[in-house]
Amino acid sequence: MLGFLLCASTWGALPQDTVPQEGTLQEVEVIARNIEANTIRLKTLNFGGVGQVGGSIEGLVRSLAGVAGSDELSSQYSVRGGNFDENLLIINGFEVYRPQLARSGQQEGLSAINPDFVQFLAFSAGGFDASKGDKLSSVLDVQYRSRNTYELPGQQIRAGLFSGRVFASTLLDKKGKNGPVYQSLAVGVRYRSNAPFIRGGDVQGDLRSDAQDVQFLFESASLRWFHEVLGIAQTSTFALRPSSRTTEFGTVTEVLRLNVYMNGIERYQYQNAFLGARSRYSLTENQQLFLESSVAQALEQEDMDVESAYLLGEVNNNLGSDAFGEISYLRGSGGHQRYARNQLWVREWQSKAGYVYKGDGQRVEAALSYRHQDGLDIVHEWVNLDSAGYSLPHQPTAVLLQGGDTLLTTKESLRLFQVTDSRGQLVNGKVHAHVLWQGAIPEVGFKPGWNAGLRYVRDSRSGEQRLSPRLSLYWSLPSRHGVELSAGSYAQTASVRELRDWSTSRFLGQARMQHAWHAIAAVEKQFTSKGRPFFWRGEAYIKYLDRAFPFEQDGMRVRYLGEGPGVARVVGVDNRVHSEWLPGTESWASLSLFRAQERFGEVWTDRGSDYRYSFSLRVEDALPDNLNDKVYMQINVTGGFPFGAPLSADKDFRSPPYRRMDLGFQHDFGPKASLGLEVFNLLEIRNTASYFWIMDISTARQYAVPNYLTNRLLNLIFQYKL
């Protein structure tokens, strides 16, 4: 914790320079801007989440080009054919931990981002610069502020039917020995329950679903010093005593119905805490030194013991029959028992020191950091199937004829259908270093702006070292056109979840890092149509993983099936159009087409995240000549995901497309109070999150029964700014 102590020691240090009490800002003509490699910045008055199912920032991110999401209650998303573990979340420069054991969005709880703190966010779907962390797919960089601004009020209360938020900030400015010191503190508390979404589903039973968190941000700035401290504490509990389930699936001509009667309990608990501190010191007007440290800890537990008996039959779909809608033919019956006692404990701390130079249209940054990780992963999980009195896989009684006698050898043990029993411990020290050199983009001309960098990582667990060069060039051309070319190397050090091999129940403590190459070509244009500004950007990209892990997606759960070795490739195009229909907001439409494949043998196959296409439309508007009545609409259409039998490398099937439309209406009673109405899943389309597999021993057939997502739901929101 040396880095954290150094941070604390600089907290009270005050420079001997005199800070002027007031000054006059001179007029500045902007002739260039810095390049942010393949990054989009969002401005919106709706960071608070009206019309968003989870009230989360990630709901907005899932509507951007290159992003696909298939569970509206989750904060996870897939970017350009990657899985959920390949996305980096940064808040105020600190990398933030995300839950790893959640099987579905309804269990996950709150997002790590509190929308009330957010000033702006930047998102990169690939090709990001060397200052960001080591992930294969994307970076979501969120900037918090604690000081009051127009977008960030001093105090705010938001209350809904199943969620609530309280936010408060205050100024603590004071006069120091050498001039004024500008200080501020912000605190946010949130509560949310997913119970209304879950109760509208197929499973009936006693349910408890709640999540809470508290976050704070302290900032202090003087002439040369800037200090900030960020703290996050979250807890989430999901407990269900299921009693029954009825699910219909199949085709128009062949409708199947699954009736399940259950007994038992499943409980999921997630707890995590984070604390980060940073200090920056301005050596001169153009040079800064910074020092930061952070510590995070998470505990996730899964307890499950549920017995069930099921009946699977064909539904009579003859409209003229008296038995229409009833089961006309019983295909099979059986029993199912799932047991789990899983636990994941993670603790990590990081210290980082760096230097920044800005001047003459250039920016240079260099930093060195060390991160230590401790993790304990315990998995004890099994599934027992029983059909017509036979446990699957079936172990028959042996009959022997010997000397005129008949000998019967009965079953001596119960053979379980699936067993996972592993225990692994991760102790890892990672050294990171990067150098970044940015050149400003000229306003117009054929001279490019650039973003060049080199990143180094050393992983003590695997003993690997890797240098990752990254380069982006941007040309600002006449007629408000722009062209950007990017390429880079991206390594991802393994987390605890990636080291768990579900196919063999082993912990791969020596597995090597995954690695990918990105190449991106982009064209963009700014134009005006019907008096409104528009911005269009199109990107063509290829992402090649020369070292990839095989995996399957079970809802929000990613299950790795070993370390390969294997390769993967993603090729696609992204298009997005942005416009400002309402002052201070953005509306956009995104379309992505891609193909994600992998090869762990002789043949290329679809990756578990090969959605093929994604379309999103996000509109923020108001009634004509009445900005007090606003409307928020979001439409998402995503291709189905490939899937197969559990823990099977073959993905021979594909789920139906994900289609959803959410609406939000907000009326402002003035500058302080507003009332909102949210209509989730307006078209009431039953989207598929994952599949529940059952077997009929009489025909040796397996059936994939869909687990559906949320139905239509209404919510009222009252917001008040003090």
Instruction: State the maximum Cα–Cα separation within the chain, in Å, rounded to a whole number.
Output: 111
- pLDDT number for residue 8: 39
Lowest-pLDDT choice from 146-155, 161-170, 549-558: 146-155
Q: How confident is the model at residue 511 (pLDDT cuts 50, 70, 90)?
A: confident
Q: Name the average pLDDT for the chain.
A: 84
393, pLDDT greater than 70: no
DSSP state of 244: E
What is the C-alpha to C-alpha distance for residues 124 and 137, in angstroms, rounded to an integer? 9
Place of tokens 């390949």: 86
State the average pLDDT over residues 471-493: 92
User: Which bin fits 518, alpha (ψ -120 to 50), beta or left (φ > 0)?
Assistant: beta
pLDDT digits (tens, 9 = 90+) for 193-202: 988 888 878 8
pLDDT digits (tens, 9 = 90+) for 396-436: 656 666 666 655 555 555 667 778 888 888 899 999 999 99
CB 73 within 8 A of CB 54: yes
28, pLDDT greater than 50: no
- pLDDT number for residue 413: 59
State the average pLDDT over residues 336-346: 91
Q: Which of 304, 349, 311, 307 is nearest to 328 (CA)?
A: 311
Question: Please, which residues bridge with residue 470 across strands?
Answer: 453, 488
Backbone angles phi, psi at 527, to 5 degrees: -155, 170
Q: Report residue 538 as tokens.
A: 């199109």
Name the pTM for this structure.
0.88
As a three-state string, the secondary structure of 685-705 is CCCEEEEEEEEECCCCEEEEE
Most trustworthy range by pLDDT among 241-245, 321-325, 541-545 = 541-545
DSSP state of 415: P
27, pLDDT greater than 60: no
82, pLDDT greater than 60: yes
State the average pLDDT over residues 37-60: 75
- pLDDT number for residue 496: 85
* Beta-strand relationship, 673-680 and 32-33: unpaired
Q: Which of 233, 255, 259 is nearest to 246 (CA)?
A: 259
What is the C-alpha to C-alpha distance for residues 285 and 282, in angstroms, rounded to an integer? 7
637, pLDDT greater than 60: yes
User: Which bin fits 611, alpha (ψ -120 to 50), beta or left (φ > 0)?
Assistant: alpha
State the average pLDDT over residues 278-295: 95
Q: Which of 714, 584, 607 is nearest to 78 (CA)?
A: 607
DSSP reduced 3-state for 507 = strand
DSSP reduced 3-state for 588 = strand
Q: Report residue 63 as tokens.
A: 């509507």
Q: How confident is the model at residue 277 (pLDDT cuts 50, 70, 90)?
A: very high
- pLDDT number for residue 324: 82
DSSP state of 508: -
DSSP codes joined into one string, 76-97? --EETT--GGGEEEEETTEE--
Give CA 706 to chain center in angstroms. Answer: 23
78, pLDDT greater than 70: yes
For residue 565, is the peptide bond before it cis, meaning its omega torsion is within 30 degrees of 0? yes
pLDDT digits (tens, 9 = 90+) for 288-319: 999 999 999 999 999 999 998 888 888 888 87
State the average pLDDT over residues 575-582: 87
123, pLDDT greater than 90: yes
Higher pLDDT: 279 or 531? It is 279
DSSP codes joined into one string, 96-143? ----S--SSHHHH-S-S--GGGEEEEEEESS---TTS-S-SSEEEEEE
518, pLDDT greater than 70: yes
Beta strands in 563-625 (DSSP E): 566-579, 587-599, 605-606, 613-623
Q: Report residue 189 as tokens.
A: 């508390």
**Torsion on CA atoms 128, 130, 131, 136, rounded to nearest 10:** 50
* Beta-strand relationship, 506-507 and 67-68: unpaired
CB 261 within 8 A of CB 309: yes
Beta strands in 440-531 (DSSP E): 441-442, 449-459, 464-477, 481-492, 500-501, 506-507, 514-529
Lowest-pLDDT choice from 273-277, 503-507, 526-530, 636-640: 503-507
Q: How confident is the model at residue 690 (pLDDT cuts 50, 70, 90)?
A: confident
550, pLDDT greater than 80: yes
> What is the number of other CB atoms lying within 10 angstroms of the CB of residue 182?
15
R_g of the chain, CA atoms, integer Å: 28
- pLDDT number for residue 716: 92
- pLDDT number for residue 591: 96
Domains of the chain in sequence order: 2-12+28-721 (2.40.170.20)
What is the C-alpha to C-alpha distance for residues 713 and 435, in angstroms, rounded to an integer? 49
26, pLDDT greater than 80: no
pLDDT digits (tens, 9 = 90+) for 483-502: 999 999 999 988 888 888 88
Angle 321-324-329 from CA coordinates, rounded to 5°: 100
22, pLDDT greater than 80: no
25, pLDDT greater than 60: no
State the average pLDDT over residues 204-226: 92
